[in-house]
């Protein structure tokens, strides 16, 4: 019985020895000049295939030693362009570097920015990294000047602004009410016993031991560079274009892993492991299970083109980016798909309400009583774009239009504005009277039974304009006055040029 227990206890050590031997074999194959290319390629394939999406070996990159130029296997994943790999040891990716190291890295990064090509991937990466280095330097200097600070509470890594969430209760940030997972290693974050970091921009969460190994660029940086959500429906390029690798961590996808384990004095059969390629419906790219957790989200492109709100599977980076776009009014729906307003009555209703609210805003913004009561701020709040124009929509606005909550909200705001305008003497003084029927009833541009002339902005009853064949009386008068003025000017010029043709009364 003891022999069986000892044999079982030796299995983890055998696996670890096997992984260490494979890593050493890979490094030796890359550094030896006498080995052929096939041996190096086979070793590289075995090493990349021997890692799983939840291990740290998945996120390893090749690092070049500054002294010997030898290729070393680093523990950190560096999202760096291939042309800048030789410079990575001088750019400092560790957030625990000293002030002098950061200053040297900043100077070297500025030099590389000047010699890089405009609008190139290298320059964009260098500028982003330069901002991170300066932010880290400022934080480090503030931490050194403050004697009460025990450790770094904020870290800047590849665009993320990580805030420390210390273990225990009553620390920097409140404890979460639900179970959270590390976006880097996919492990559970035990908030009571483990310290973790939380990105204040994109909500990326990571263990304290994983925060310096983060490779994913902050979704806030990507969204700021892109400015608009992707409006192409799943622009898939295929696994071949990605070289059958995960788009984020470069893990080899759709491969078979063969391992041989020494167990009970004999070799076991090779085991097969499948790394599933998962498609992101937002970007059209493939990811590994560590970077794609089968999260589901509404796709903006499918909403705009197909009015489809069915959630679909997206990667972690795409989910964080979509969440940043949810409340931003960036979609010009009528330009992208004008037929939606013809086939969807609920969308046409929302557009009509927003058009009326635009007219109402002009009255309330010029009313002294409305400004004192802050009617606009209390009723519309941070969604003031809804009453400034009827063109821009956010993803949440379109989703609320589908379920009817946006129309109910706009009706409530409309009734509040209408009540003030009709009870305010200053607003009523700016009302209109229909010129066609000469009725004493005052009318406003946001009334349902009224119509506005596109030329002179005059307001009439819709029925009255229909009787006049949609001809505006004010526009007719203006046209007649212009013709009369032109005729008088022409007659005056003729009299000045031909005084003999002047009539006796004119002499």
Per-residue pLDDT in tens (0 to 9) along the chain, 507 residues:
444 444 434 444 444 444 444 444 443 444 443 333 333 333 334 333 333 333 333 333 333 333 333 333 333 334 566 666 656 656 665 545 677 878 888 888 888 888 888 888 888 888 888 887 887 777 667 656 644 333 456 788 888 888 887 555 444 455 556 778 899 888 888 776 678 888 988 889 998 888 888 888 899 988 888 888 999 999 888 888 988 899 888 888 865 444 444 443 444 444 456 788 999 999 999 999 989 999 999 999 999 999 999 999 999 999 999 999 999 999 999 999 999 998 999 999 999 999 999 999 988 988 898 888 888 888 888 899 999 888 899 999 999 999 999 999 999 999 999 999 988 888 888 888 888 887 778 888 888 888 888 788 788 888 888 888 888 888 888 888 888 888 888 888 877 777 665 555 444
Query: In terms of domains, do 413 and 357 share one?
Result: yes
Q: How many domains does the chain have?
A: 3
φ, ψ dihedrals at 333, nearest 5°: -65, -40
Task: At 115, list the tokens.
Answer: 């010699």
Pair 449, 432: CB distance under 8 Å = no
- The reply to whether 456 falls in a domain is yes
Going by the DSSP 8-state scheme, the letter that residue 323 receives in this structure is H
- The reply to whether 46 falls in a domain is no
Query: In terms of domains, do 420 and 356 share one?
Result: yes
Dist. CA 85–CA 76, nearest whole Å: 13
- What SS3 state is found at 376? helix
Q: Among residues 396, 429, 462, which one ends one of the domains?
A: 429
Please name the residue that has the structure tokens 């560790």: 94
Query: In terms of domains, do 340 and 418 share one?
Result: yes
- The reply to whether 273 falls in a domain is no
Q: Among residues 109, 127, 145, which one ends one of the domains?
A: 145
Pair 27, 62: CB distance under 8 Å = no
Query: In terms of domains, do 360 and 436 share one?
Result: no
Dist. CA 235–CA 282, nearest whole Å: 8
Question: Within 13 Å, how many C-alpha atoms sit on residue 456's CB side?
Answer: 12
Query: In terms of domains, do 91 and 136 share one?
Result: yes
| H-state helical runs in 404-454 | 405-423, 425-428
- The reply to whether 91 falls in a domain is yes
Q: Among residues 429, 449, 467, which one ends one of the domains?
A: 429
For residue 196, the model assigns a pLDDT of: 85
For residue 279, the model assigns a pLDDT of: 92
| Sequence-separated (6 or more) residues with CB below 8 Å from residue 236 | 279, 284, 285
For residue 264, the model assigns a pLDDT of: 39
- The reply to whether 105 falls in a domain is yes
Query: In terms of domains, do 381 and 449 share one?
Result: no
**Sheet strands (E) in 182-246:** 188-189, 196-199, 205-207
- The reply to whether 307 falls in a domain is no
Query: In terms of domains, do 424 and 343 share one?
Result: yes
Residue span of the structural domain in which 124 resides: 85-145
For residue 280, the model assigns a pLDDT of: 93
- The reply to whether 109 falls in a domain is yes
Signed CA dihedral, 409, 406, 201, 186: sign only: positive
Q: Which residue in 126, 136, 140, 137 sits closest to 91, CA to CA?
A: 126
The C-alpha angle with vertex 96 and arms to 95 and 99, in degrees rounded to 5, equals 95
Query: In terms of domains, do 378 and 418 share one?
Result: yes
CA Rg, the chain, in Å?
34
Query: In terms of domains, do 417 and 462 share one?
Result: no
- The reply to whether 296 falls in a domain is no
The C-alpha angle with vertex 276 and arms to 274 and 277, in degrees rounded to 5, equals 145
Query: In terms of domains, do 475 and 424 share one?
Result: no
φ, ψ dihedrals at 206, nearest 5°: -155, 150
For residue 331, the model assigns a pLDDT of: 92
For residue 448, the model assigns a pLDDT of: 82
Q: Which residue in 313, 49, 315 sits closest to 183, CA to CA?
A: 315
Query: In terms of domains, do 414 and 474 share one?
Result: no
Query: In terms of domains, do 93 and 141 share one?
Result: yes
Dist. CA 95–CA 406, nearest whole Å: 45
For residue 292, the model assigns a pLDDT of: 92
């Amino acid at each position: 019985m003891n022999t069986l227990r000892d044999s079982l206890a030796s299995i983890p050590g055998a696996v670890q020895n096997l992984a260490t031997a494979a890593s050493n074999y890979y490094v030796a194959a890359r550094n030896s000049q006498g080995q052929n290319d096939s041996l190096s390629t086979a070793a590289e394939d075995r090493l990349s295939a021997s890692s799983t999406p939840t291990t740290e070996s998945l996120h390893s990159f090749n690092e070049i030693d500054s002294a010997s130029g030898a290729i070393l296997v680093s523990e950190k994943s560096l999202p760096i362009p291939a042309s800048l790999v030789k410079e990575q040891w001088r750019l400092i990716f560790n957030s625990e570097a000293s002030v002098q190291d950061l200053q040297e890295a900043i100077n070297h990064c500025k030099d590389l920015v000047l010699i890089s090509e405009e609008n190139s991937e290298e320059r964009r990466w260098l500028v982003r990294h330069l901002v991170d280095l300066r932010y880290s330097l400022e934080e480090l200097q503030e931490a050194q000047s403050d004697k009460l600070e025990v450790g770094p509470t904020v870290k800047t890594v590849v665009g993320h602004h990580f805030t420390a969430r210390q273990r225990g209760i009553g620390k920097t940030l409140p404890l979460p009410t639900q179970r959270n997972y590390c976006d880097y290693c996919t492990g559970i974050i035990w908030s009571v016993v483990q310290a973790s970091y939380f990105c204040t921009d994109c909500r990326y969460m990571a263990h304290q031991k994983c925060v310096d190994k983060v490779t994913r660029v902050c979704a806030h940086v990507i969204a700021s560079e892109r400015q608009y959500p992707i409006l192409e429906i799943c622009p898939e390029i295929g696994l071949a274009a990605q070289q059958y690798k995960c788009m984020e961590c470069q893990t080899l996808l759709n491969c078979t892993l063969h391992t041989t384990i020494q167990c009970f004095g004999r070799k076991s059969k090779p085991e097969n492991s499948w790394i599933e390629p998962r498609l992101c419906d937002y970007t059209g790219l493939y990811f590994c299970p560590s970077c794609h957790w089968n999260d589901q989200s509404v796709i903006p492109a499918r909403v705009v083109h197909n009015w489809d709100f069915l959630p679909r599977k997206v990667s972690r980076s795409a989910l964080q980016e979509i969440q940043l776009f949810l409340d931003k009014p960036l979609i010009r729906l009528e330009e992208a798909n004008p037929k939606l307003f013809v086939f969807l009555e609920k969308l046409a209703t929302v557009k009509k309400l927003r058009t009326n609210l635009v007219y109402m805003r002009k009255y309330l913004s010029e009313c002294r009583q409305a400004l004192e009561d802050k009617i606009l701020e209390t009723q519309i709040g941070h969604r003031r774009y809804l009453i400034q124009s009827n063109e821009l929509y956010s993803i949440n606005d379109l989703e609320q239009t589908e379920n009817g909550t946006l129309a109910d909200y706009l009706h409530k705001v409309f009734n509040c504005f209408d009540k003030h305008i009709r009870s305010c003497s200053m607003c009523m003084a700016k009302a209109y009277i229909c010129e066609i029927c000469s009725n004493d009833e005052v009318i406003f541009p946001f009334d349902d039974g009224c119509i506005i002339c596109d030329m002179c902005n005059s307001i009439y009853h819709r029925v009255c304009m229909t009787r006049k064949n949609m001809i505006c009386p004010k526009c007719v008068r203006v046209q007649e006055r212009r013709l009369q003025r032109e005729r008088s000017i022409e007659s005056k010029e003729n009299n000045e040029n031909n005084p003999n043709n002047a009539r006796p009364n004119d002499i």
